[in-house]
Amino acid sequence: MRHTFTILLAGFACGLLSGTAAASSEMDAIAKYRELLADGNPSELVAAQGEELWKTKRGPQQASLERCDLGLGPGVIKGAYAKMPRYFKDTGRVQDLESRLMTCMENLQGIEPKSIVDGKFLKGEREKVAALVAYVVTESNGARIDVDMRHPEMKKMYEMGKMAFYFRAGPMDFSCATCHGEEGKRIRMQDLPDLRTQKGAAAGWGSWPAYRVSNGEFWTMQHRLNDCFRQQRLPEPIYGSDVTIALSVYLAATAKGGTMLTPGIKR
Amino acid sequence: MGNPMKIRAAAKDGVTEVKVLISHEMETGQRKDANGAVIPAWFITELVAKHGDKVVLQSEFGTAVSKNPYLAFKFKGGAKGDKVSVSWKDNKGDSRTDEAVVN
Amino acid sequence: MNNQRRNVLKSGTGAAVLGALAAAGIIKPGVALADWNKAAFEAKSMADTLKALGAGAPVESKDVQVTGPDIAENGAVVPVGVASSIAGTTMVAILVEKNPNALAASFTLPEGTEANVQTRVKMGQTSNVYALVKAGGKFYMATKEIKVTLGGCGG
């Protein structure tokens, strides 16, 4: 119509594009699109299911998750996600939200983590974990990202996460840093946050988990990270495994001081 | 059946604004599954919103309405504490009604 | 059988039963939804859709507006709306010219409901989006082109 949209022309191979071409009017239009979507994030529907699940007596032990300790004491959800991942004394390890929810489901409800770890995204018990995630992260919306890095295990995980972030591998010799280790990179119209910086990490970490309009699915952080590995043509990591938690520690620690805008809504 | 809707209704200066999020696949009937079989159309066809007993919006949807439909509209009247309800039915004969209190 | 069917159709609680009948292939889903304008929603071209809506040749009007972004990052979810400042607007509809079926949604507005409705639609490609409005028995319309940038990298 009035604008020229060289950047929009179809036919780009999947890949990286350095962000120079888009005129500001186009970026303004995209910004308007995102703004229109923000009001009425379908994550709310998933969060409502999660809230119901949190309160429902389920599993072999017929218990709810209302005594689940996400780090701020049994049953405290408000602001809990903004302080995760964290070191948990009772399990003796660093856990992200999803691995922690599995602990609660096992201890309180008697639901075997194996069925979740070996399961598939958006299926069975793992889908239920995702609904719980939607509920919990909604209760940290607007909170300050504030991971506690004092425990030596957190420091260890941070170092492991950083290593994983820069680790190049796979048929394309990619690492997370290939896409997210430079300012101003994009894939087509998607700005890629520079996750090495506080600002970039806050933008990335602070807006996931999120509802993805492209497929109408709610994606947890485990799902997000899993797909990053897939896109790098690397083997998918085990659900809730240390490397995934370590990457989350690295991102959350780098993002510290930023604001949680969860759940997000993504293209 | 289906999962609950999210309905928000807020009254301001004599006008009530209603925003609705509905949990529904809105399958177009034009997509194919991994085996190449067409995924049958499954979508909301009709929706009615009421303020108390009075109909304030009646809509018909086609398959082009996005998955997990969103709807926003305004009607005159309505006060804090009033009830707004939304009902839908889909092409498979499923239906659901939820309500919210105006605030 | 026929009697039973009639009873089902008569009773207000028949929706689930009708669904079961539809699933069993006894009746077509369309039959169960007498109110839904099948002809309009299944029409392919703009002209056929307008005809099925009884809109003939709507008049372009500045008092009608398609609200929405100039660009949609993803065609699966495009926020669009219709606003009309024509007095006595009783119906608004959203049509996407290049979709397989042009009509996306229509809204009947009782007295007291503002002629300003927002929803989200799927768009297969960049297309003109039409707002169709009925007021005082006449049809009006407005157009806006919305560009769709296709994703595909899944990131």
Identify whether the C-beta of residue A260 lies closer than 8 Å to the C-beta of residue A140. yes
* pLDDT of residue C101 exceeding 70: yes
Q: How confident is the model at residue C150 (pLDDT cuts 50, 70, 90)?
A: low
| Half-sphere exposure (Cβ direction) of C77: Cα atoms closer than 13 Å | 25
Chain A residues with CB under 8 Å of C120 CB are 37
Identify whether the C-beta of residue C49 lies closer than 8 Å to the C-beta of residue C108. no
Q: pLDDT digits over C15-72, tens only?
A: 444 444 444 444 444 344 457 999 999 999 999 999 999 998 899 999 999 999 999 9
A10 has a chain C CB within 8 A of its CB:
yes
Mind telling me how many Å the CA of B69 is from chain A's nearest CA?
8
* pLDDT of residue A12 exceeding 80: no
Residue C142 has which token pair?
Answer: 């407005």
Q: pLDDT digits over A163-196, tens only?
A: 999 999 999 999 999 999 999 998 877 789 999 9
**Which residue is catalytic, options A14, A104, A176, A228?**
A228
Q: pLDDT digits over B29-84, tens only?
A: 989 999 999 999 999 999 999 999 999 999 999 999 999 999 999 999 999 999 99
CB contact under 8 A, A32 and C72: no
Residue in A4, A27, A33 to test binding to C, most C beta-carbons within 10 Å: A33
User: Tell me, what's the pLDDT at C65?
Assistant: 98
**Partner residue opposite C71 with nearest CB, options A29, A214, A227:** A29
Residue B59, domain member (yes or no): yes
Please give the DSSP secondary-structure letter assigned to residue A13. Answer: P
Domain membership of residue B21 as a residue range:
6-101
Residue B75, domain member (yes or no): yes
Mind telling me how many Å the CA of B81 is from chain C's nearest CA?
19
Q: pLDDT digits over C59-91, tens only?
A: 999 999 999 999 998 999 999 999 999 999 999
Return the beta strands (E) in A29-172 as ranges: 86-88, 93-95
The full set of domains in chain A, from first to last, is 16-22+144-266 (1.10.760.10), 43-138 (1.10.760.10)
Cis peptide before C110 (omega within 30 of 0): no
Residues 6 or more apart in contact with residue A164 via CB below 8 angstroms: A176, A243, A246, A247, A250
**Partner residue opposite B92 with nearest CB, options C29, C81, C101:** C29
CB contact under 8 A, A33 and C150: no
**Across all residues in chain A, what is the average pLDDT?**
91
Cα separation of B1 and A193, whole Å? 41
Label each residue of C9-24 as H, E or C: HHCCCHHHHHHHHHHC
Please give the DSSP secondary-structure letter assigned to residue B28. Answer: -
**Partner residue opposite C149 with nearest CB, options A14, A188, A215:** A188
Residue in chain A closest to C145 (alpha carbons) equals: A1
Please give the share of chain A, as a percent, with pLDDT higher than 90.
83
Q: What chains are in contact with A, requiring at least 3 Cβ pairs below 8 Å? A: B, C
| Half-sphere exposure (Cβ direction) of A13: Cα atoms closer than 13 Å | 1
Q: Select the more confidently predicted residue: C95 or C150.
A: C95
User: Tell me, what's the pLDDT at A75?
Assistant: 97
What architecture is domain C38-148? Sandwich (2.60)
Strand (E) or helix (H) holding A56: none
Cα separation of B70 and A166, whole Å? 40
Cα separation of C152 and C155, whole Å? 8
**Partner residue opposite B68 with nearest CB, options A39, A42, A49:** A42
Give CA separation, A34 vs A29, A37, A266, C71, C104, in Å: 9, 5, 8, 10, 21
Residue in C70, C121, C146 to test binding to A, most A beta-carbons within 10 Å: C70
Residue in chain A closest to C128 (alpha carbons) equals: A1
| Half-sphere exposure (Cβ direction) of A40: Cα atoms closer than 13 Å | 30
Residue A150 has which token pair?
Answer: 């004092």
* pLDDT of residue A28 exceeding 60: yes
Domains of chain C by residue range: 2-32, 38-148
Can you tell me the mean pLDDT for C96-114?
97
Mind telling me how many Å the CA of C36 is from chain B's nearest CA?
6
Residue B1, domain member (yes or no): no
Q: pLDDT digits over A96-152, tens only?
A: 999 999 999 999 999 999 999 999 999 999 999 999 999 999 999 999 999 999 999
Can you tell me the mean pLDDT for A221-229?
96
Please give the share of chain A, as a percent, with pLDDT higher than 70.
91
Q: Is A179 a catalytic residue?
A: no
The enclosing domain of B34 has a CATH number of: 2.60.40.10
The radius of gyration of chain C from alpha carbons, rounded to an integer in Å, stands at 18
* pLDDT of residue A18 exceeding 80: no
Cα separation of B79 and C144, whole Å? 35
Give CA separation, B55 vs B17, B71, C91, in Å: 14, 15, 14
Chain A residues with CB under 8 Å of C73 CB are 30, 33-34, 189, 267
Q: What chains are in contact with C, requiring at least 3 Cβ pairs below 8 Å? A: A, B
Mind telling me how many Å the CA of C26 is from chain A's nearest CA?
32
Q: Is A13 exposed, middle or buried (0-12, 13-18, 19+ CB in 10 A)?
A: exposed
Mind telling me how many Å the CA of C36 is from chain A's nearest CA?
25
